[in-house]
Structure 1
């Protein structure tokens, strides 16, 4: 019996990536169907309805780490979250590169940018752009990377920025910015960003990469700004932070909050008493709104002696708190902003992972058949 192609597509698009990779061996027909860009997009669209939480863990002592994912639980779902360990790696040199965009994961390994699809096992490694020849006699430079996705043209891009100091530590400061579009394997230099020094992990959504930075002048740190990089237009914008926010936010953590970028005070969040949040409600007019969330009195009974911090809002509208390390038992906490309610979910399947590993947590990770090189996936 031959199953009609439209029915076969409807069945296959609901299956996990690992199963689809195995099914490419069933027949030539199935291999071409699963590898077709149309089917890859269709499967990705369906996967987006079942987002996952992606957690990267890193041991800075021996530069070893890995990535696991868990389902984003809906309210009233009391089952434990089971961790799936897609891959581990050696040589990760910095925690701020790891990002998940449309199922692809970016990190820096051995001085190279490493883009991988953890479920298909495919990866691509890209060398970093060389310092422009006219700046070859630099005194100091710092290189930073980000990973973004343009939902309009449907392209993944890696942003590499370096701050270069010429003529001593207090000399002239220059910023170089380069972009690599997956599928081209060629770095392009772009202009138009005032020199700044990135000072934390970025958050990427809706075609924008956001990160906190100091402005830089003659090698000296200046005011704090929110830097916004538009992945499609490859343009930068320095967003001013309200003076009052500087008093509230001592160690700013960027999160996605109700489709906006927001700053959270990391210190207050770890104190487990209240959450102070500054939300960029109007990007064009640079209008910020302050909100304070007082955690329920029984918070410390549910999460005693735990160092957790908010990582963003899930589809249910709850604010998700993730652990800073993988101390057993590993738990996620969901805080309902409207009812002031709190629920706890334990993550199972991490028996072989060191409890001392520091973690980075990202929401809305999806399973994907996309290739790290921007081409149709063939396995």
Structure 2
């Protein structure tokens, strides 16, 4: 009888709340609460899963970004934390344990969705809803020579589709390899589709890519290799893959940008354990997204970072770009020889910066394990830095203290179309 009374009260409450009232209440709630509320009634479930509400909640969530720290110890699962006091640091609050091996990479999230990458497969996670997809293996048949995949995660603002791009570089052996001869094969994976890769008939119009792939304003960007060993040598270019049309184009890098190189790395991905198929080049110009625009960055010397920000719209499919220049003067507390990972905070003038010792550099690391990390918050308008400390990370980090750092917006976005009837919503941990 008591259970019947509770159900009656629940139905009465549901009937009293119209759509506008639900929207005003639900839009301010965290995703964790909304996932639970979907069990209250089919009406609430339908409302929470409605695409217009999902977008409204995401827009609200973007006003409250979070810092995520991802760690893995001894080849174990990935532990994800966020600081209790947000961008002020504080005690690390455990968010989720992801039961993946230590050989995977996490690409930078887009609207709350993470792409996890193995050498030959990918899967999608929404860490807030705990939904994930099965691993989707590549459709490419491996042959002789050296095959190197480079993955990028992107979004098409016109169709609201999320896609993963994989560019395979297939190198010959012997003299062909020494001369830099490389063939390309490209695949695309559409999130929410059939959960399989499809090969496309276009390839990057350059000899070789350099560094990772970075998403901004409807395109996935990369630098070309620019190797002087090529005949003729490559000029410095940016390669752009339009997520909507699935076509490549190149953007010329002006002479005033081409030149010096430094120790810098974007926060576009986190490799839990370095492996032979994904090398880190810490002394090249790299790419990142700032306020929805693609940007080039370069560490001119130990205490100066240059940013060149493209101010063109994603709708302008041009061979050239207009650039604005910014200079970041690093404080003396940045140690000599340390690498930088930059994660701009969307919709603000702030950039979260991680400083760490590059793997294989031979530099001495602080002794003993530790359960904290230090980050810097840089304000582009004030040109000021503040340091924050995140404590209570467990298991303890061990030398060389490798961890991933992301700026994250939680969302209700599904990782699979409802029509596919794929129920992967079981909480991870």
Settle same-fold status: TM greater than 0.5.
Answer: yes
Residue aligned with 2:297, SS: strand
User: Is there any run of 5+ residues in structure 2 with no aligned partner, and where?
Assistant: 1-12, 263-283, 358-368
Give the TM-score of the pair, scaled to structure 1: 0.81
- Higher Cα radius of gyration: 2
Tell me which residue corresponds to 1:201. Answer: 212
Q: Deviations over 1:320-349 (max 9, x none)?
A: 322437965422212233433222222234
Tell me which residue corresponds to 1:322. Answer: 354
Aligned partner (choices 86, 97, 100) of residue 87 of structure 1? 97
Q: Which moved more, 1:316-325 or 1:173-182?
A: 316-325
User: Is there any run of 5+ residues in structure 1 with no aligned partner, and where?
Assistant: none
Tell me which residue corresponds to 1:309. Answer: 340
Contact 1:64 1:92 in 2 (8 A): yes
- Residue 40 of structure 1: CA displacement? 2.2
Contact 2:371 2:397 in 1 (8 A): no
Aligned partner (choices 365, 370, 373) of residue 413 of structure 2? 370
Number of residue pairs matched by the alignment: 363
CA distance in 1, matches of 2:350, 2:118: 34
CA distance in 2, matches of 1:309, 1:216: 24
Matched, 1:52 2:66: yes
Contact 1:157 1:231 in 2 (8 A): yes
Residue aligned with 1:100, SS: coil
Matched, 1:43 2:57: yes
Contact 2:354 2:376 in 1 (8 A): yes
Matched, 1:30 2:60: no
- Residue 209 of structure 1: CA displacement? 1.5
- Residue 137 of structure 1: CA displacement? 4.6
Residue aligned with 1:90, SS: coil
Tell me which residue corresponds to 1:279. Answer: 309
Larger strand proportion of the pair: 1
Residue aligned with 2:59, SS: helix
Q: Deviations over 1:136-192 (max 9, x none)?
A: 653222112111111221111111111123575616532111111112224332215
What is the Cα-based RMSD across aligned positions, in Å? 3.5
Tell me which residue corresponds to 2:5. Answer: none
Matched, 1:334 2:377: yes
Specify whether residues 234 and 58 from structure 1 end up closer, same or farther in structure 2 by C-alpha distance, changes over 3 A only. Answer: farther
Residue aligned with 2:162, SS: strand
Tell me which residue corresponds to 2:33. Answer: 19
Specify whether residues 168 and 254 from structure 1 end up closer, same or farther in structure 2 by C-alpha distance, changes over 3 A only. Answer: same
Alignment of 1:1-379 (within 5 A): 1=13, 2-57=16-71, 62=75, 65-70=78-83, 80=90, 82-93=92-103, 95=105, 98-109=107-118, 111-131=120-140, 137-165=143-171, 170=176, 173-185=182-194, 186-190=196-200, 191-214=202-225, 222-250=234-262, 251-266=284-299, 268=301, 271=302, 273-282=303-312, 284=318, 285-295=320-330, 299-300=331-332, 307=338, 309=340, 311-314=342-345, 315-324=347-356, 329-356=372-399, 357-363=401-407, 365-375=408-418, 379=425
CA distance in 1, matches of 2:36, 2:51: 18
- Residue 367 of structure 1: CA displacement? 1.0
Give the TM-score of the pair, scaled to structure 2: 0.72
Residue aligned with 1:11, SS: helix
Residue aligned with 2:332, SS: helix
Specify whether residues 176 and 69 from structure 1 end up closer, same or farther in structure 2 by C-alpha distance, changes over 3 A only. Answer: farther
Specify whether residues 89 and 267 from structure 1 end up closer, same or farther in structure 2 by C-alpha distance, changes over 3 A only. Answer: farther
Q: Which moved more, 1:218-227 or 1:117-126?
A: 218-227
